[in-house]
Structure 1
Amino acid sequence: MKADTQQQDLSLTRAASLCALGLATMLAASLHAKPPVTAAKPVSAPTTAAVLAAAKPGDWRALDPQNTLYLELSGGRVVIELAPAFAPNHIANIKALAREKYYDGLAIVRAQDNYVVQMNDPDYENEAARKPIKTAKRSLPPEFTVAWDAKIPFTRLPDPDGYAPETGFSDGFAAARDMKAQRTWLTHCYGTVGVGRLNPVDSGGGPELYVVIGTPPRQLDRNVTVVGRVVKGIELLSTLPRGTGPYSLYEKPEQRAPIQRIRVAADVPENERVALEVLRTDTPTFEAYVESRRNHREEWYAVAAGHIDVCNVEVPVRAAPGAR
């Protein structure tokens, strides 16, 4: 019995020693341990609003009145910026048509949901009744693409595109290019203005125009001559009643939206012009703007996409400072 008691005392003593040794080891380790490292918070990138708020006056450019059209409808004015670098012959012809007042009294004859509105002479199929063209041309060779030139500015987007090897922006216009083929062209995004044609590729010239009012129909790229984009007043077109005839043409004359006139802005008295500025697309500010659109930092967003499509980069347009 005494031996058992001694054995128990020995076991208790040994356990106490081991426990004390463990506490001492833990204490020593704590004294020499480095303090825990707190992960640094990621630097938050600026939001789209912050990028635009920080833009300098030099980051904006005024519209060129020689390459701006005013489409006058009963509901107001639609402002169209032209892109002469991509369709010089068609744009020269369109301006000639406007200056001979060809468009005055024509109409928007088609409004197709999620696609386009189209303006034309309602009698264009009747050669005897259609409106004559005085000095301009009714049709021209296509300008679906133009030869790549290093003088043509191009701010490339970082993300791949399903319709072109590269996409980006050229002087504010959504564009694409193929460096192997040495060709570049404008893309069909919301607000794009193009030249209507029949099956022959040289059957368009400017008398018939269309504006994209829906999901970007990128399949039209390199199949139609694109001449510009709407920079103000797109709602006057996108909210028109939809046509009910074939291809969404208006079936009755009273359904059409009359065109009062189309004028080159340079031909309009300066006090009657719309003073607008467009964010330049060849600046670090625009690159920051694109990044803010690729990865939205606004509080509402739970996931940043990390990707952008050329038609999802809406180039900002604003009233010129001091404009009435």
Structure 2
Amino acid sequence: MEHMIMGKNKTDNNNFVYWQSAGANNQRYLTFLDQITNIALSRFQWFNLPDTCNERYLETVLLHSGMATISKRISNNHLYSLRVAGNYGIDMYGNIEAWYCLGDNGFGFNANWSSGAVIYENLNRTPIYPGLKMYAYELADLMALKLLNRQQQKAPYIITGPESKKNDMVNLYKQIAGNEPAVLANPDISTIEINALSTGVEYIADKIDEDIENTWRKVYGLLGVNNAPYKAERQIESEVMEHSEPSEINRLSPLVARQQAVEWINKQLGYNIQVEWRRDWDGKSAIANFNEMFEGDENATTL
């Protein structure tokens, strides 16, 4: 009886075919989502927050829920950065009049605008996490497409042989598909036949890479983060600034939303809390950072 093996096997994550599976696709998605989430959580820097507040927790709640609160617990006169777990009515402009502050361990207390403020992720008062998930899926899909296109450049094999040689055939296929030397010490090796088929699939990895770069640029734009454009060495300063403008506009909404809440807290409660857009690389501009990377390289084109 002849037994045929084609290019798909039931495997686990220790097998190269795992990277074609739904599990691998999910792993790629989660990896990209983690990267994008970390960028989102690093956008703002808070100054003069009391020790009872937590900047990371505050930004995490804003990212996922679209709103958080910094409020004072009257019983101990301490300020806390917590979730908004419920509201007790709104005014004619849609502003919450009173709310319940809640921590992940169940700690909570009531608050209103005389003891704190509600902070929103942006002026539209919506969480951005769903958008981050959308782009993470897009990037994971592009990576899976690139992997598939690369694998399609390998000539697929149809391996046939007797049922008794099934294990030898499986091992032979794994070695061929895994780019390993195929060595089988078996006197009956002649009973196994290998036939290669031509796919005729065009190699488009460069186009997929460009699509990935463009998708990342959309992520940066959504988050308001400046980034060196794709193939930036070929662009003049005005072109780099043109690419940065959408990011700078997008950062205004979340920054203003945070600053409005901070101004109220400082005025109402007498604090000096500040929030600013985080400056990386010692606060230099994107162009200065780009030029610094290539400083001393005679062949590099600076901006």
User: Structure 1-normalised TM-score?
Assistant: 0.19
Larger radius of gyration: 1
Q: More strand per residue: 1 or 2?
A: 1
Q: More helix per residue: 1 or 2?
A: 2
